[in-house]
């Protein structure tokens, strides 16, 4: 529908030219009052929940797409269940978790302040700030604390917060950059004009010019510098004032003190008609700091763009099939159970199962797999993947935050906002950094005051400006953000920064064989029958029992029976004997299947037919009514690249251990197939894996355990760092530190290289930031460095740290 060229938002009353939307999304096609982009999102949720009367009273102060510097007046809306459903995750323990977009974060001191202020609130379990993305990950107990109270607390210490969503990110970045550009341009205009005046003043002084003219230029400089200080420097002044009111210190405090002291001294000189004014210094260093912050914001966005790239995979619209044919709707209106049509070239709108069609789907943006994956009836599809050559119909199963794409984004964001242990150095320094800066500046001023007031003022201002923990605070988060994003792009999902640090220290790898080094798709390769029972009859009995279980060996036997079109018999009392096998009653017969331990349990281990099979597969013994009737041989093929991976790891001097539940004979065959110095341990029960991990750790080894995340959870938890093999777009493994998307084993080497390079980069960044302060702070205290040079050096140090972090991509790619 059309919109007027100029109209006001129905809810917030703000005049908006163009870009308006029909209130409530024009759901029924009837002309409604208009919404601005910010009110529209909440408006839709409230309207569809039948709460229009309440929302008519809500007055949002600015667009949600671009959160304002001041917190919106009505925060109670974010406590409504209907609104929270859009952005709050309910944890298994009943706590709520949300990601808030924070405006006003500039440095590590801001991070420390926000985490301390919110983390101390009763009911808050976790408060973790992502400096690179300017987001707060908050987890709280809803019965003890409301989200609006947390947001009020943030407002009280000087930070505006809104719930995070993709549109809010884009709008906030654009709005913030636009405001920064305006302030920077205003300061630049003032700096350019005041510089000409300064040149005229210096030229007049050297040529014995007219003192009255010099005084006139002083007042002109005052007129230019005053609006620059309070408009362009406004964020620093307001940030410092709010910090002082909250009895906290951030980096706005020393910048504001330096600017106000230099400006105040210049005003005093002007009023007293004295010679030395430094309006040009105030305006120029504000301009340079704003330029640095703008470049820093662009660099951060580029360095940590992985989540934005993933978010862009989610389509906006979908084609739903209903009683009246095709219907083009917004993705957010899709519900579980809907049937959607995915045309060639379309993105899959949600997670689900193919109900009709045959095509190939590009999953490379999610998993890094280079080849399209064949999809047909019964195959699973993931949101964000791209359909190939033919249309598909899909039954929707998971939407919104329940999709694989959403879980991947959550994992990447959690990793980017997490901390490595090495960051504890910076965390211990930052709280004292601002106080130390003020003390050093005061000492510098007192030292030089006895010699020269001008020198004392400029030296103290230089110390206040140049001593900044920004580079120190960015050293670790930027490296982790880049590494986590680059890993996700290549099919390696890292759960937290500490995992990257542990990966760098690994010297021994432990593999679970089934589903890791092998494909995890068992197949029957042989069957031997003892006695008079028919082979098909025995296989039918065995398959009828195994169909009650989901173990790979059980599926292999069931598939073998299906291939022979052997029907299923009634099965009762099916149960599992841990580490031995399964038992049950099939068609009136007591049937048992398992390994040698099962034979011992049944008293059949001394049977004359029991012999060790001479291959690398698994042997499943079958007993019917207490008599040994036969055995089935099952094998699992090694994954492509498994032998090459182990050979390369040995070449790099990593220790290798492979754990398998197969017999000792089968383990011996596997050891021969793998070659080299690989330790293969057979007859390993699930609990034995944990014991083996403990033994290796007691030997002083730094372990990486790689499993399938199914029955390896205890062993994965005991290793220094754990890695689970994903399956396509399955990222449901909660027990591992790293998830490999897809089946390409070469990503193990990539993950190791990523961890090593990330830790190396973090150490380099910490060294750069510490060297910067160690070298330049004494120079500022010695009055060698001017405030303008300090304003240039401060952002340059941050840009160096960010640039070094970005190089992780190139360095890992070249390994």
Determine the pLDDT at residue 227: 93
Q: Cα(584)–Cα(734) distance, rounded to whole angstroms? A: 32
Determine the pLDDT at residue 719: 86
Q: Identify the helix (H) or strand (E) that includes residue 502.
A: helix 497-505
Q: Cα(110)–Cα(157) distance, rounded to whole angstroms? A: 10
DSSP-based three-state secondary structure for 514: helix
| Catalytic residue status for 512 | yes
| Whether 799 contacts 292, CB under 8 Å | yes
Beta strands at 7-8 and 386-387: parallel, antiparallel or unpaired: unpaired
Determine the pLDDT at residue 54: 31
Q: Which residues of the chain have pLDDT under 70?
A: 1-74, 86, 106-109, 132, 165-173, 202-210, 296-312, 365-371, 401, 411-431, 468-469, 520, 605-617, 663, 676, 686-687, 709-713, 726-735, 814-815
Close Cβ partners of 102 (under 8 Å, ≥ 6 residues apart): 114, 129, 134, 135, 136, 154, 159, 160, 161
Close Cβ partners of 249 (under 8 Å, ≥ 6 residues apart): 109, 243, 434, 435, 438
Close Cβ partners of 587 (under 8 Å, ≥ 6 residues apart): 541, 544, 569, 570
Q: Cα(807)–Cα(678) distance, rounded to whole angstroms? A: 35
Whose CA is closest to 83, among 145, 18, 21, 148? Answer: 148
- State how far the alpha carbon of 14 is from the alpha carbons of 7, 34, 39, in Å: 8, 11, 11
| Whether 232 contacts 190, CB under 8 Å | yes
Which entry of 351, 362, 512, 636 is annotated as an active-site residue? 512
pTM of this structure: 0.63
């Amino acid at each position: 529908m059309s919109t007027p060229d100029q109209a006001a938002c129905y809810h917030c009353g703000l005049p908006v030219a163009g870009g308006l939307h029909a209130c409530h999304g024009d759901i029924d096609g009837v002309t409604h009052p208009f919404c601005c982009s910010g009110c529209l999102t909440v408006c839709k949720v409230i309207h569809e929940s039948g709460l229009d009367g309440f929302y008519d009273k809500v007055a949002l102060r600015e667009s949600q797409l671009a959160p304002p510097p001041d917190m919106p007046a009505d925060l109670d809306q974010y406590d409504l269940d209907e609104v929270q459903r859009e952005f709050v995750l309910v944890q298994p323990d009943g706590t709520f978790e949300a990601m808030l977009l924070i405006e006003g974060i500039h440095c590590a001191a801001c991070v420390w302040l926000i985490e301390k202020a919110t983390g101390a609130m009763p009911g808050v379990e976790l408060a973790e700030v992502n400096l690179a993305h300017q987001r707060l990950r908050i987890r709280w107990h809803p019965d003890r604390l409301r989200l609006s109270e947390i947001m009020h607390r943030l407002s009280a210490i000087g930070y505006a917060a809104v719930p995070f969503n993709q549109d809010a990110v884009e709008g906030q970045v654009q709005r913030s950059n636009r405001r920064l550009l305006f302030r920077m341009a205003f300061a630049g205009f003032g700096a350019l004009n005041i510089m000409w005046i300064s040149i005229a003043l210096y030229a007049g002084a050297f040529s014995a010019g007219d003192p009255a003219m010099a005084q006139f230029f002083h007042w002109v400089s005052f007129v230019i510098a005053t609006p620059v200080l309070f408009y362009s420097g406004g964020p620093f002044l307001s940030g410092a004032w709010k910090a002082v009111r909250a009895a906290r210190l951030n980096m706005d405090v020393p910048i504001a003190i330096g600017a106000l002291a230099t400006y105040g001294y210049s005003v005093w000189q002007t009023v007293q008609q004295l010679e030395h004014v430094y309006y040009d210094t105030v305006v120029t260093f504000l301009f340079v700091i704003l330029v640095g912050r703008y470049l820093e914001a662009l660099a951060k966005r580029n360095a940590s763009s992985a989540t934005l790239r993933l978010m862009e995979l989610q389509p906006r619209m979908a084609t739903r099939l209903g009683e009246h044919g095709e219907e083009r709707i917004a993705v957010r209106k899709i519900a579980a159970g809907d049937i959607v049509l995915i045309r060639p070239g379309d993105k899959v709108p949600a997670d689900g199962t193919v109900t009709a069609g045959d095509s190939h789907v590009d999953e490379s943006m999610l998993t890094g797999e280079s080849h399209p994956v064949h999809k047909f009836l019964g195959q699973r599809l993931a949101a964000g993947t791209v359909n190939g050559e033919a249309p598909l119909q899909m039954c929707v199963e998971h939407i919104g935050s329940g999709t694989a794409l959403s879980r991947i984004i959550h994992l990447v964001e959690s990793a980017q906002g997490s901390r490595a242990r090495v960051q504890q150095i910076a965390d211990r320094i930052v709280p004292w950094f601002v106080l130390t800066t003020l003390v050093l500046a005061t000492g510098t001023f007192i030292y030089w005051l006895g010699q020269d007031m001008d020198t004392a003022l400029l030296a103290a201002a230089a110390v206040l400006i140049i001593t900044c923990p920004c580079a120190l605070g960015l050293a670790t988060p930027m490296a982790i953000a880049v590494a986590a994003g680059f890993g996700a792009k290549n099919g390696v999902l890292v759960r937290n920064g500490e995992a990257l640090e542990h990966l760098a220290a690994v010297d021994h790898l432990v593999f679970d064989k089934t589903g890791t080094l092998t494909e995890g798709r068992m197949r029957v390769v042989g069957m031997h029958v003892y006695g008079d029972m028919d082979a098909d009859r025995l296989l039918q009995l065995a398959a009828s029992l195994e169909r009650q279980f989901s173990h790979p060996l059980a599926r292999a036997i069931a598939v073998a029976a299906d291939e022979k079109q052997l029907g299923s018999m009634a099965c009762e009392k099916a149960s599992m004997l841990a580490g031995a096998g399964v038992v049950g009653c099939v068609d009136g017969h007591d049937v048992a299947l398992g390994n040698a331990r099962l034979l011992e349990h049944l008293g059949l281990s001394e049977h004359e037919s029991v012999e060790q099979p001479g291959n690398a597969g698994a042997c499943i013994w079958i007993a019917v009514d207490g008599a040994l009737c036969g055995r089935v041989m099952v094998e699992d093929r090694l994954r492509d690249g498994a032998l090459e991976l182990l050979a390369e790891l040995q070449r790099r001097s990593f220790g290798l251990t492979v754990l398998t539940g197969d017999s000792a004979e089968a383990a011996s065959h596997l050891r021969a197939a793998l070659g080299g110095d690989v330790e293969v341990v057979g007859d390993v029960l699930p609990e034995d894996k944990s014991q083996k991990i403990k033994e290796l750790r007691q030997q002083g080894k730094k372990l990486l355990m790689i499993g399938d995340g199914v029955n390896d959870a205890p062993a994965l938890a005991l290793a220094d760092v754990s890695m689970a093999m994903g399956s396509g777009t399955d990222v449901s493994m909660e027990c591992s530190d790293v998830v490999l998307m897809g089946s390409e084993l070469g990503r193990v080497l990539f993950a190791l290289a990523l961890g090593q390079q990330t830790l190396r980069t973090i150490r380099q960044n910490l060294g750069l930031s510490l060297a910067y302060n160690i070298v330049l702070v004494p120079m500022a205290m010695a009055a060698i460095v001017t405030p303008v040079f300090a304003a240039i050096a401060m952002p340059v140090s941050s840009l160096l740290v960010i640039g070094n972090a970005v190089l992780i991509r190139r360095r890992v790619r070249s390994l």
